């Protein structure tokens, strides 16, 4: 059987437009209307066809159009203004949190030193990252965006679904139908997480029944903060386990439990694997409840705390909202 080979094709951006890729890779653009208008200006029709996805936009727009834009002084001036705005935003010197932090306590930052880990089964950030279905996801996404705006050091933890949530359409008879299009992770605003020391992609494992399920760790830049996402659709897993992260709320009750184990236990291990040590763990709904059990286990096994003391420590540093 012939070996299947995958290629990732990147856009060849003309000189002067390379910075558009930097803008596209940080989801800050998704709640900055000037940045959205800038991408739409590149090719309005294509922007709609690619689902408001700047990564795909830059990869599929005609080369001739890019060359024209590289000579368009008005476009270049607007682009530089937005990039300057993004740079000032990311610097975050005058954010609410930095101005009102506890006296004598380092302010922390959401990229390398988050104080809070926000666990959620879904995050509604932007339509080109379809890992949400409704209100719960929109709440989680808005919490992360607001945390970034305020300078609160938060890291989100969730699942990167291969097919996301279903999309609806009407067939020729007028009946509502659903479809689950596969996501190409190289064409959305995420990147493989890298372990400390740049030793390669991060893969964690989670015990399920009598086997280990592996998950690759991805991350998205979300303004000043990060969103950590888990993906079980990798070669180390069986076909059954690869399907755990296929669809948001997909499969039977057993698969839903597997997703919750992946989120709670796997999410905790993913944070450790990328060298993040939050002080507070926020569980958005009960989907990540296994997180509390994993944290108790870690405290007992790694620090020698008695189970009762470990339970109290986890209780004191956990937040639950529903």
DSSP SS3 for 186: helix
Query: What's the CATH number of domain 102-321, 2.40.40.20, 3.30.70.1400, 3.40.50.970, 3.40.50.2000?
Result: 3.40.50.2000
pTM for this predicted structure: 0.91
pLDDT at 110: 56
**CA-wise closest residue to 110 among 139, 144, 84:** 144
DSSP SS3 for 141: helix
pLDDT beneath 50: ranges in the chain: 103
Pairing outcome for strands 116-119 and 280-284: parallel
pLDDT at 30: 97
Gap between the Cα atoms of 52 and 316, Å rounded: 41
pLDDT at 11: 62
User: Structural domain boundaries of the chain?
Assistant: 19-91, 102-321
How far are the Cα atoms of 68, 150, 178, 208, 263 from residue 255, in angstroms, in the given order?
50, 37, 20, 11, 12
Q: Which value, to the nearest 10 degrees, does the dihedral of the CA atoms of residues 48, 52, 53, 57 take? A: 40
Gap between the Cα atoms of 317 and 322, Å rounded: 17
Q: Is residue 257 classed exposed, middle or buried when 0-12, 13-18 and 19+ CB atoms within 10 A define those classes?
A: middle
pLDDT at 99: 82
pLDDT at 136: 93
pLDDT at 105: 56
């Amino acid at each position: 059987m012939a070996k299947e080979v995958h290629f990732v094709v990147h856009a060849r951006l003309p000189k002067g437009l390379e910075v558009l890729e930097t803008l596209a890779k940080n989801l800050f653009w998704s709640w900055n209307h000037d940045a959205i208008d800038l991408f739409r200006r590149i090719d309005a029709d294509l922007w709609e066809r690619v689902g408001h996805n700047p990564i795909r936009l830059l990869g599929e727009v005609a080369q001739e159009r890019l060359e024209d834009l590289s000579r368009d002084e008005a476009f270049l001036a607007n682009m530089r203004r937005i990039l300057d705005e993004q740079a000032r935003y990311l610097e975050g010197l005058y954010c609410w949190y930095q101005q009102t932090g506890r006296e004598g306590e380092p302010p922390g930052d959401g990229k390398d030193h988050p104080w809070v880990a926000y666990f959620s089964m879904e995050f509604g950030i932007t339509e080109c990252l379809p890992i949400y279905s409704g209100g719960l996801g929109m709440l989680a996404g808005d919490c992360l965006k607001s945390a970034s705006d305020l300078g609160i050091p938060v890291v989100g933890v969730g699942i990167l679904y291969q097919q996301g949530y279903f999309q609806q359409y009407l067939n020729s008879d007028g009946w509502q139908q659903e479809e689950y299009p596969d996501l190409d992770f190289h064409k959305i605003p995420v990147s493989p997480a890298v372990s400390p020391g740049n030793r390669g992609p991060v893969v964690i494992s989670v015990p399920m029944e009598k086997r280990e399920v592996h998950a690759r760790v991805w991350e998205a830049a979300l303004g000043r903060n990060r969103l950590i996402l888990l993906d079980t659709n990798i070669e180390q897993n069986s076909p059954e386990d690869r399907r755990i992260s296929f669809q948001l709320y997909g499969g039977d009750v057993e698969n839903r439990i597997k997703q919750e184990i992946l989120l709670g236990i796997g999410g905790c291990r993913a944070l450790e694997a990328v060298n993040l040590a939050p002080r507070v763990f926020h569980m958005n709904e009960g989907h990540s409840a296994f997180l509390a059990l994993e944290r108790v286990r870690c405290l007992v096994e790694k620090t020698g705390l008695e189970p009762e003391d470990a339970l109290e420590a986890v209780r004191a540093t956990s937040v639950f909202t529903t």
